[in-house]
Amino acid sequence: MAGHSKWSNIKHRKGAQDAKRGKLFMKLAREIFMAAKQGGGDEETNPALRIAADKARSNNMPKDNIERAVKKATGDLEGVNYEEFTYEGYGPGGVAVMVKVLTDNKNRTAGEVRHAFSKNDGNLGENGCVAFMFNRSGYLVIDRSTTDADEEEMMLEVIEAGAEEMETTEESFEIYTEPETFSDVKASLEESGYAFSTSEVTMIPETYTELEEEGVEKMLKLIDMLEDNDDVQEVYHNLDADEAVLEKLS
């Protein structure tokens, strides 16, 4: 997994933009809804719901919003029925893109996703065309400003917690886990007093596609347009962009 920190730069940019748009709570509520609908409304027995609810709480989503989403899923409140789909395709320069959606109207969402790709020099592909380029993984980030632990000490903690790998940057410790052990690793590190700036189960690319500034700008426009869609939950991609270029285009 070496080199994945280049991917996290764009993930962090994405998170800030979601919050600015004020759409984050709605997307988190849909994620909670689907997890509860598929596995029940008890966080103790439904790991997917626990992960979704923890993610919502870490983004300061009110407790009532979380409970409402669970109750809608379990039938205690009337609500819309959502379906989950993943679209795959290529962005500018052949960047691999996966788009996870939750929608109550598949035809509408498919058309809007296709339009976003075509408008930004990309195209939708067949199911499976890029999925093999990504691995599902637990991902935890600890800001180094929040702990006195050095790299060696943190590595020992991470290994003991059962994580798969850790990368260190000047700003953070980035920890990767198997999806199945994500909750246990997170809980173990929390018990040791660590707090996370990011904690999620996500899709991480095995390889990256490098683009020059013009291509990066087009790719960021595609990401923005997709994320602006209320039905889009996550956009995964393998863009490799220089940090200075990202800063310039932000």
Q: What is the 3-state secondary structure (H, E, C) of 142-181?
A: EEHHHCCCCHHHHHHHHHHHCCCEEEECCCEEEEEECHHH
- Rounded to an integer, what distance in angstroms lies between the CA atom of residue 153 and that of residue 45? 33
Res. 21: pLDDT tops 60? no
pLDDT band at 131 (very low <50, low <70, confident <90, very high): very high
Query: Mean pLDDT across the stretch 47-52?
Result: 92
Q: Which helix (H) or strand (E) holds 219?
A: helix 213-227
Specify the 3-state DSSP secondary structure of 188: helix
For the chain, the average pLDDT equals: 88
Per cent of the chain over pLDDT 70 is 90
Res. 14: pLDDT tops 60? no
SS3 content of the chain, % helix, strand, coil (to 5): 50, 20, 25
Res. 36: pLDDT tops 90? yes
Q: Which two tokens stand for residue 14?
A: 């994405």
What is the DSSP code (8-state) at residue 236?
E
- For residue 154, the model assigns a pLDDT of 94
How does pLDDT run across 106-122, given as a tens digit for each residue?
Answer: 999 999 999 999 999 99
Res. 2: pLDDT tops 50? no
How does pLDDT run across 194-244, given as a tens digit for each residue?
Answer: 999 888 899 999 999 999 889 999 999 999 999 889 899 999 999 988 777
Give pTM, 2 decimals: 0.81
Q: Which two tokens stand for residue 207?
A: 């390889």
